[in-house]
Structure 1
């Protein structure tokens, strides 16, 4: 007989101890709450030595109650999640309140009651397992997010740390490694002693006492700042301009365009994580760490500072902004603010950077 027929029949017949007694909910919500109350006759043994006793077994939402059929007084309460069937698949079904101490038992032969107990147990188990699965899923996702964050964040964090903690001497070595790769495309560093002496003499006033300025014969469209307060100047600025003012202006602009730690960080990102780890642990870089960086630099636009920051810096050194501006744009259209804010026009006394002999020696730094 189908379940709905069994339920309907149970409503038509008066309840007794030989058949299950039940009442339906008016608006069922879930499989667990299909029955408000389900009762059936059973045989209860309180201990293995006790005699069987007829009881009414009642299923609640989470408990199994055994009652005296004469007085309706509860004799025992069992927790449904802990109820264990001792003889699966056999009739009458034999249940115990705990698999760990199966002394107390009850026999039930009503199929509807047996099925109800199993359904309630399954529903409770499912309800209790779902939060655990959800926590497992959430925990798994959190771990994946953390691992993903580490994968994407940790390498850059280590590279940043390596760039930040590099002492000046180590930063200079990094800059020299970049310069060595730059020489592949821009030509070997010009090393004529008389010209380098002029650079070493003038560079403290332009870019700082600890700065080192080097010249390469190839055009750089200005000057570039490398790690370790190292500056590289294109030889074209020395051979195509009437005086040292344009070259001096490009060195000042290179200092203002980027901080030493920032350019070190950019270089270390090119070198990569393994180079950063080696730098932090051994203090040296792999020989090929900067390979290709010089060519990439030449292909990029030269970093330029904010034009508004240049006139005050030029004024401190008694320099006109016009030679620098005209070396960028001979027409002056793109650098009009520099021309209009020329400190010399505003009355700043012009400084003589170099003597004619010094300028000639500097122009010949790449000769011979």
Structure 2
């Protein structure tokens, strides 16, 4: 057998010189399993056995090919037979492929590490920056950002509505709904409710001027609280602005003014997606507010919000505590009368 499965037996002629001073002589070469046998061409007596893995090509690419049994000067073998040359080169290629390559492995590991780091930077770091910035921002900074957003809103909606009795009603509404600290009513351009950082909520005039019950404005605020898969307002804002804005907040404590203005426009034009019915009904039950008035405010026919009506946690019975007293509700409805 030979070192190559495609050859059962492979022989060729060659010219061998046992040492630099010796005369060259013609020989017969036989490719074995791990050696190249060099034999006298007349008597067939073996003259030398060369290890195939140890053989060295002295003139790569040239013809005839010249080989040595090792790096030490001495024996040389000249081969002109193309089949034998190709066989020897194939054996060497197979051996090289099986040999460990520390440098190549190191390069592959380094390359893989760079790719992994790039993937982390590209996919994990942006989200991590947003999460971290939203988590560690102090309450005072959240309030400041919320107020800046409100200022941008007023450029599109007009100044918030105020009256002594109406402001007291808004304070009572904020106290009635857990999680709210300040509620502002905007006179124009805004439908429904939006949550801003710092415990600030804004509602459109349509939530108080048309309905005949405060459960409507409460419902819009509850839906806003549970919107966007439970994300907090600052996190949602930073997620929209991007990791660069989150990094700026972490390093300077500020957000870009143009980004705040653009996000305010986004909130006016695109309200957050309404949560599913199960989430909303659970929130209404926790807040002690009937969901039916809110449902009819969304769709006066009731067809598209039938689930909120039929599964109202307080259907056919009063809520445990009114959202607002009658006098408070009247004051709230009149809060924008001066606008």
Q: If the length of structure 1 is used for normalisation, what is the TM-score?
A: 0.70
d(CA) in 2 for partners of 1:259 and 1:57? Answer: 78
> 2:243 aligned to 273, 288, 300, which one?
273
Q: Are the equivalent residues in 2 in contact too, given 1:186–1:216 (CA < 8 A)? A: yes
Deviation, 1:68, is: 6.1
Counterpart in the other structure of 1:327: 297
Picking from 246, 250, 257, the partner of 2:220 is 250
Aligned to 1:119: 86
DSSP 3-state at the match of 1:292: helix
1:345 aligned counterpart, secondary structure: coil
Q: Per the alignment, in what secondary structure is the counterpart of residue 247 of structure 2?
A: helix
Where in structure 1 are there 5+ consecutive unaligned residues?
A: 1-22
Q: How does 1:1-368 map to 2 (within 5 A)?
A: 33=6, 36-40=9-13, 42-46=15-19, 48=20, 56-60=28-32, 63-67=35-39, 72-73=45-46, 75-79=48-52, 82-85=55-58, 95-98=67-70, 100-102=71-73, 104-108=74-78, 111-112=80-81, 115-127=82-94, 146=116, 147=118, 150-192=121-163, 194-208=165-179, 211-258=181-228, 261-310=231-280, 313-314=283-284, 319-340=289-310, 341=312, 343=314, 345-346=316-317, 348=319, 351=322, 353-356=324-327, 359-360=330-331, 363-364=334-335, 367=338
Let me know the Cα RMSD of the aligned residues: 4.3
Structure 1 contact 45–53 (Cα < 8 Å) conserved: no
What are the ranges of 5 or more consecutive residues in structure 2 without an aligned counterpart?
none
The Cα shift of 1:203 comes to 0.5
Structure 2 CA distance for partners of 1:125 and 1:366, relative to 1, 3 Å? farther
Residue 63 of structure 1 and its aligned partner are, at CA, apart by 3.3
Alignment partner of 1:288: what SS? helix
* Matched-pair contact (CA < 8 Å) for 1:164–1:261: no
1:40 is paired with a residue whose SS is strand
- DSSP-derived class of the 2:170 partner: helix
Larger Rg: 1
In the TM superposition, residue 301 of structure 1 has moved relative to its aligned partner by 4.6
- 1:158 Cα offset (Å): 2.9
SS in 2 for 1:225: strand
Indicate if the aligned counterparts of 1:268 and 1:276 stay in contact, CA closer than 8 A. yes
Q: Is the 1:44–1:55 contact (alpha carbons within 8 Å) kept by the matching residues of 2?
A: no
Q: Distance in 1 between matches of 2:184 and 2:49?
A: 96
Q: Distance in 2 between matches of 1:264 and 1:176?
A: 12
In structure 2, the CA distance between the partners of 1:325 and 1:39, relative to structure 1 (3 Å rule), is closer
Which string of whole-angstrom CA distances, capped at 9 and with x for unpartnered residues, describes residues 165-191 of structure 1?
444444444433433333333233335
Instruction: Compute the TM-score of the two structures, normalised by the length of structure 2.
Output: 0.75
Aligned length: 332
Q: CA deviation at 1:233?
A: 0.7
Q: Give 1:164 deviation, angstroms.
A: 4.2
- C-alpha separation in 1, matches of 2:223 and 2:57: 84
